[in-house]
Structure formats: structure tokens, C-alpha cells
Amino acid sequence: MKQKLTILFIDDDESLTTVVAHQLKGMGYAVEVANRGAAGLEKFKESPPDLVLLDLQMPDMHGMEVLKKIRAFNDEVPIIIGTAYGTVDNAVEACQKGADDYLTKPFAKEQLRFALEKAMRLKKLERENIRLQSELQDKYKFGHILTKNKEMKALLELAGRAARSDAAVLITGESGTGKELMAKAIHHNSPRRDKPFIAVNCPSIPETLIESELFGHEKGAFTGAVAAKPGKFELADGGSLFLDEIGDLKFDLQAKLLRVLQEHEIERVGGTKTIPVDVRVLAATNQNLGDLVANGQFRQDLFYRLNVIPITIPPLRQRPEDIPLLAEHFVKKYADKPTRIDPEFLKELMRYNWPGNVRELENIVQRAVVLSTSDVLTGDDIPGEQLSHKPHAEGGNVTLAEAEKHAIIDALNQTKWNQSRAAAILNIPRHVLIYRMKKLGIHND
């Protein structure tokens, strides 16, 4: 059985509370009555009701005071002020101070019913809104990763779930596919979001320094170690450590890293004590770690440790539907005035196979925006020698489905997603186009 909603009625007029309580019960509410402000507060604290009906003029404590005290520890419960004829100003003031509505006395039954329902409905909406907003905010962080691609969307979903755990994530993908962006999104959606995200780019650190970089060193540990220095693991304590290009880590360091991941403690170079560290590891590589393991260049045990949740980001040429979306995004990012994209511009972008993936696209668009003298980007804004001489098909492993998808998206872009005209360009009936779009997961949203 559905539980009754409870109304706490605080009013010093006993004959009024008796009558109104009776009416409220008749409407299906459970009612608690208090004939003094202080007593009302007590009752509120004992068992918070679903709504408060509150009088302003009371001998012991003014309703305004009661309102303030209730709001001090509960800003959710709807509060309706009951006010005597001629004192509406006070009621209005109460609404400014946190009440939701007011009713003039004596209460007309239907007005009362209506006001109660309205207040509770509004509160429910407000709560719903707040919940949706915080969900949106969370989404927004993964929302930095733009995509229309089905496979990518599934990946984002997986990453969202992975984010909530402490499991190691290994992000693989060609250069420029957005691996670091993914790592950051995982961190920012994880319970560790308020702690540091520390990135280490393995190949950029000289071999002799990488151990001290990761684990820190004590003063005098080696020539040049003039002061003690914490390593990245210590800096990332409580947060996430992003090990970029992990495939480049030398074999002996792989063993040390593995030990840290197993023991959750580090030893600084030249140090003697162990330091506990609480770090979630996210790693990335554009190499095939499985191959490196097979060739004996990467430790299998470390690979398993890092690869608890594998996320492989597909190259841009396998998700051509993302090209217009990303191009538009980068135009907005770099243009300082509203700038349109001409279908010819997109056509050039769609033709290319993007070995440098999203990063390369970003660079091309940025260049076009910076050099363009008008507010529309045309085919002329593409550096021809750079792009058009490398047709998509030269990418090598293009499957028939990819080529078809590509042709369809290209036609749709040219016609601003007018399906009849796109079908005409492709020389197929419109229903076939629609069928193939569905089959290939192409949609314009």
C-alpha cells in the first residue's frame, strides 16, 4: 500500500487546526498538528513531514523564525504559509525567505488541496532537475570526447563504468586518437576526481632518470641529486597516474613497476624506507603490447597487470561520421568569429585517410581557420598537397563496409543530410540508402 504523505500543520488557532486537519485527512494525507512554533519545530525534527503548513502569528515563536530554523537544516521540504487577511505582505516576505507559497485564511478547501499538490509537485520536479543536472555534469566530462560512432559510444559507456572502479585501464589506439583525453575523462569521472591526475610520458624521459622520475630519489642518490625529490607515484597519491607510451618502458623498469603495482608501496632511489602509495594506474600505448610480449620486449605479468580493462580507440578513418562533428568542434574552438563550413571543405576532409587521426584533423582545421580571410571555410582552405594526394583508400586496410559508409556519409554531407538528394548522388533508391544507413549505423544526431 502506498504510504500517505504527511503534513505538519503549525498554527496556534486550535479551532482552525482541528477543522483543517479533518479536511486534510479527508484528502488522504496524514496530519500532525502543533499549536506552538517551538512544538512544531520539535515535531519537524522528530519526524520530518512531506510538507509544512505554517502560521506566521504565533504567541511563542513567530512563523518567520520557525521557517528560518526549518530551512537551516532542510531546504527541500515544501513550506506553505497560512496568513490572515490583510497580512499578505508578511507572507510574501516569507516566500522570499524560503517558503514556497502562501494561502490566505480561512482556507478554501479546494484552494488548499490545489496549493498542496502544486507545492509537492514542484519540489519533486526540482529534485528531479538537480539529479538530472548532476548526471549531465558527469556526462559532460566524457562529453569532451565527441563521437557519433556506435563503437565509440559503446567504448565511452565501458569507460564510464571502468571509471567508478580502481581497476587498471590500458588504452590503446593509433597516435592522435584521443588516448590521453580518454585517460583524463576516466580520472575525472572516478571517485579520485578531486585528487591529482599525473601524466608520465615514458619515452620523453632519459633512461637514466626515469626511475627517479617515477619513484623519486633521496638527496645524494646520484650525481646531481642535490635534494630529495618525490616521484610521480608519490605526487599522484590518492589520484591517478597516467603512464603514456608504456610500450617504451625498459625491461628492468618494467619489473620495478610491476612490484610497485603489486605492493602498493615505493622506495625512492637511494632510499631505504618504503612509502605506501594509493594510485590508480591508467596506461596508454600506440604499439601492440601483445606483440611486444610475444617478442620478449614486454613482460607478460606487467601486461596482465595493466590490461585489466582494455580500451581500444578506433582510428578516425574507421569512424568517418566523426569527421564533420570534430571539424565543427575545432572550428568553434579556434575561430574568433562565427565560421561556416562549406560542403567542399568537408568533402576534402572525408577523402583523406587521417594517419594522424584526431590530432591531425585538429591541426588542419586550426590552420584553415587561422589562414582563412572569410567566415566560411571552403575547399581552398585545405592544404591540397597535404591532403588530397592521399586518398582514403590508400590507408591500406579499408574494408568494403568502411568504403561504403564513407561514400554514404560523403554524399550526406554534400547534401546537408538530405536523403533524397544523397541517394541521387549515390545512384540508389532512397529506401536503399535508408536501409544501408541503418545497417552501417549512420545517423545524424
Ligand X SMILES: Nc1ncnc2c1ncn2[C@@H]1O[C@H](COP(=O)(O)OP(=O)(O)OP(=O)(O)O)[C@@H](O)[C@H]1O
Give contact residues for ligand X (rule: CB under 6 A): 145-147, 173, 175-181, 286, 326, 329, 358-359, 362
Q: Report DSSP state, residue 419.
A: H
Residue with cell 513567530: 62
Residue 181 binds which entry of ligand X, Mg ion, none, with Cβ cut-offs from 5 to 8 Å by kind?
A: ligand X
For the bound state, the minimum distance from the C-beta of residue 184 to ligand X, rounded and expressed in Å, comes to 8
The residue (of 319 and 405) whose beta carbon lies closer to ligand X is 319
The residue (of 151 and 180) whose beta carbon lies closer to Mg ion is 180
- DSSP labels for 147-211? ---HHHHHHHHHHHHHHTS---EEEE-STTSSHHHHHHHHHHTSTTTTS-EEEEEGGGS-HHHHH
CA distance 159 to 150: 14
For the bound state, the minimum distance from the C-beta of residue 182 to ligand X, rounded and expressed in Å, comes to 7
The residue (of 284 and 335) whose beta carbon lies closer to Mg ion is 284
For the bound state, the minimum distance from the C-beta of residue 283 to ligand X, rounded and expressed in Å, comes to 12
CA distance 176 to 421: 34
The residue (of 115 and 145) whose beta carbon lies closer to ligand X is 145
For the bound state, the minimum distance from the C-beta of residue 182 to Mg ion, rounded and expressed in Å, comes to 10
Residue with cell 632510499: 271
CA distance 429 to 419: 10
For the bound state, the minimum distance from the C-beta of residue 180 to Mg ion, rounded and expressed in Å, comes to 4
Radius of gyration for the alpha carbons in the chain, expressed in angstroms and rounded: 32
The residue of the chain with the least Cβ separation from Mg ion equals 180
Residue 351 binds which entry of Mg ion, ligand X, none, with Cβ cut-offs from 5 to 8 Å by kind?
A: none
For the bound state, the minimum distance from the C-beta of residue 316 to ligand X, rounded and expressed in Å, comes to 8
Determine the residue type at 169: V
For the bound state, the minimum distance from the C-beta of residue 160 to Mg ion, rounded and expressed in Å, comes to 20
Binding site for Mg ion (CB under 5 A): 180
Question: What number of residues does the chain have?
Answer: 445
Residue with cell 617515477: 214
Helix (H, G, I), strand (E, B) or coil at 257: helix
The residue (of 66 and 241) whose beta carbon lies closer to ligand X is 241
The residue of the chain with the least Cβ separation from ligand X equals 178
Residue 275 binds which entry of Mg ion, ligand X, none, with Cβ cut-offs from 5 to 8 Å by kind?
A: none
CA distance 421 to 340: 21
Q: Nearest to residue 65, comparing CAs of 49, 85, 81?
A: 81
The residue (of 148 and 184) whose beta carbon lies closer to Mg ion is 184
The residue (of 184 and 217) whose beta carbon lies closer to ligand X is 184
CA distance 61 to 42: 13
Residue 82 binds which entry of Mg ion, ligand X, none, with Cβ cut-offs from 5 to 8 Å by kind?
A: none
Residue 388 binds which entry of ligand X, Mg ion, none, with Cβ cut-offs from 5 to 8 Å by kind?
A: none
